[in-house]
């Protein structure tokens, strides 16, 4: 989410007050709504760009262009967009937005998974995934008590899943949930309602500082540099086999069917290796 927050700020600086000249759809599967049509955005002036969880909401005179980049999606800002409309094709381009001054952005998606999602709505709450978003961890009212209530409600669910669940807390993905748990020195599999008061405070502080520091690091970076910055700022996520920069131990991994998590056994689980969920399922 920090990079989505940074992207929203980046777009806010460049788009607010400008008029949408046109929006081209290059990957039909990306557009999840049909009424109002994309065409309805043409000629509207952008009045705000905000983040809702991991979604970016571009608001223009009563309509909203809301998109979720998903894992392989990204936004490329262009000072000068081509004049010819983008054609549907096999490339990574999903959608192109052109402003009246000729600048704009492309939404692209690498690989073959088609997860990038674009919605055109009058009311963002009409998008089910937006309507069910939990509280924003960077919101003014998300204090320690609000976080304690979220964890209590999650019962014995594991911390990793609770942090990542957009309906519980909006905006934290696979990478930052690993980082937050590492900073708090807590096992990803610890039940949410089993934390001591001290652990709860530590986790709340880690959540706030990991997200805010990542946003600070990304400040002022161009959209194209945000992904690289995200990767270099991570201390455990995606770093299996590397040494932990807190304790020097080796970072370990747990694999699931379609994702994995990384953690430091020395810092987080008292040296104990967590069972690999994918392997143990195969062995049964």
Residues that bind Zn ion (CB under 5 A): 244, 246-247, 249, 264, 266-267
State the minimum distance, in angstroms, from the CB of residue 242 to Zn ion: 11
Q: Where are the alpha helices (DSSP H) in 155-196?
A: 159-164, 174-184
Taking the C-alpha atoms of residue 107 and residue 151, their distance in angstroms, rounded to an integer, is 35
State the minimum distance, in angstroms, from the CB of residue 163 to Zn ion: 19
| Nearer Cβ to Zn ion (223/264) | 264
| Nearer Cβ to Zn ion (129/246) | 246
| Nearer Cβ to Zn ion (72/246) | 246
State the minimum distance, in angstroms, from the CB of residue 211 to Zn ion: 20
State the minimum distance, in angstroms, from the CB of residue 179 to Zn ion: 12
| Nearer Cβ to Zn ion (56/264) | 264
State the minimum distance, in angstroms, from the CB of residue 3 to Zn ion: 24
- End-to-end CA, the chain: 36
Taking the C-alpha atoms of residue 245 and residue 225, their distance in angstroms, rounded to an integer, is 24
| Nearer Cβ to Zn ion (104/188) | 188
State the minimum distance, in angstroms, from the CB of residue 193 to Zn ion: 25
Question: In 3-state terms, what secondary structure has residue 93?
Answer: strand
DSSP structural state of residue 155: T
Q: CA angle, 102 as apex, 37 and 73 as ends, to 5°?
A: 60
| Nearer Cβ to Zn ion (69/244) | 244
Taking the C-alpha atoms of residue 175 and residue 165, their distance in angstroms, rounded to an integer, is 13
Number of other residues whose CB lies within 10 A of the CB of residue 149: 11
Find tokens 């209590």 and name the residue.
Answer: 152
State the minimum distance, in angstroms, from the CB of residue 281 to Zn ion: 27
CB 129 within 8 A of CB 141: no
| Nearer Cβ to Zn ion (53/188) | 188
Give the nearest residue (CB) to Zn ion.
Answer: 244
Q: What share of the chain is helix, strand, coil (3-state, %, to 5)?
A: 35, 25, 40
State the minimum distance, in angstroms, from the CB of residue 213 to Zn ion: 18
Number of other residues whose CB lies within 10 A of the CB of residue 108: 20
73-78 sheet: strands from edge to edge: 20-25, 93-99, 104-109, 73-78
- Of 8, 26, 238, 32, which is closest to residue 115 (Cα–Cα)? 32
| Nearer Cβ to Zn ion (119/239) | 239
Taking the C-alpha atoms of residue 33 and residue 22, their distance in angstroms, rounded to an integer, is 17
């Amino acid at each position: 989410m920090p990079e989505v927050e940074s992207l929203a700020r980046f777009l806010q600086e460049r788009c607010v007050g400008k008029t949408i000249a046109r929006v081209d759809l290059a990957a039909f599967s990306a557009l999840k709504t049909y009424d109002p049509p994309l065409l309805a955005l043409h000629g509207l002036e952008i009045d705000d760009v905000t983040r809702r969880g991991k979604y970016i909401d571009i608001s223009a005179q009563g309509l909203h262009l809301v998109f979720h980049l998903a894992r392989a999606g990204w936004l490329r800002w262009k000072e000068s967009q081509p004049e010819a409309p983008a054609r549907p094709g096999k490339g990574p381009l999903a959608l192109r937005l052109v402003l009246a001054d000729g600048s704009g952005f492309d939404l692209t998606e690498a690989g073959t998974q088609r997860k990038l999602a674009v919605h055109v709505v009058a009311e963002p709450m009409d998008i089910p995934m937006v309507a069910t978003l939990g509280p924003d961890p960077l919101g003014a009212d998300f204090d320690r008590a609000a976080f304690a209530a979220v964890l209590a409600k999650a019962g014995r669910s594991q911390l990793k899943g609770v942090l990542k669940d957009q309906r519980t807390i909006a905006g934290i993905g696979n990478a930052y949930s690993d980082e937050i748990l590492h900073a708090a020195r807590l096992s990803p599999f610890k039940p949410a309602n089993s934390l001591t008061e001290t652990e709860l405070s530590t986790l709340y502080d880690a959540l706030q500082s990991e997200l805010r520091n990542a946003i600070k690091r990304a400040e002022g970076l161009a959209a194209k540099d945000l992904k690289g910055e995200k990767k270099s700022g991570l201390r455990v996520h995606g770093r299996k086999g590397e040494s932990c920069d807190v304790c020097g131990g080796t970072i370990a991994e747990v694999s699931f069917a379609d994702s994995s998590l990384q953690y430091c056994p020395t810092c987080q689980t008292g040296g104990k290796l967590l069972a690999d969920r994918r392997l143990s399922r195969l062995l049964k």
